[in-house]
Amino acid sequence: MDHTLITTTFTIDGYKVVKNLGVVRGITVRSRNMFATIGASLQTLIGGNITLFTELCEKTRSEAFEIMVQHAEEMGANAIIGMRYDANEVMQGVTEVLAYGTAVVIEKA
């Protein structure tokens, strides 16, 4: 799937939705490892961007996104509209990240 056809909006300029396939989602659950937590704690003493957590968050969101795309492709979609992320702490140090949207088939208008 062309990632430029995945959007948070409900329309894509120049295209029309010809079939709505329903909600798709990608979910991943991650925990921090002890070494990253210690390293991040040291980074908080200096201040600024806590790169260890930034990298973990980016990797987790990317994984959830790719699972969502795979789900949409399996349904026959060529685009995803209304895409969103959600995150919840399942337990201390363990976070669930959900990427979701509406799988659609679009064609040029």
| Domain of residue 87, CATH code | 3.30.110.70
Give how far the C-alpha of residue 50 lies from the chain's centroid of Cα atoms, to the nearest Å. Answer: 20
The verdict on residue 37 lying in a domain is no
pLDDT of residue 68: 98
Of residues 22, 20, 28, 3, the one with CA closest to residue 99:
28
Helix or strand run (H / E) with residue 28: strand 15-31
pLDDT of residue 103: 98
- Report CA-CA distances (Å) from 48 to 23, 28, 40, 45, 93: 37, 27, 11, 9, 21
> Which residues of the chain fall short of a pLDDT of 50?
none
The verdict on residue 83 lying in a domain is yes
The verdict on residue 7 lying in a domain is yes
Residue 20: helix, strand or coil by DSSP?
strand
8 A C-beta contact, residue 26 and residue 67: yes
- Domain range holding 9? 3-30+63-108
pLDDT of residue 92: 77
pLDDT of residue 94: 80
User: Which neighbouring-strand residues pair with 91?
Assistant: 94
pLDDT of residue 46: 63
pLDDT of residue 36: 56
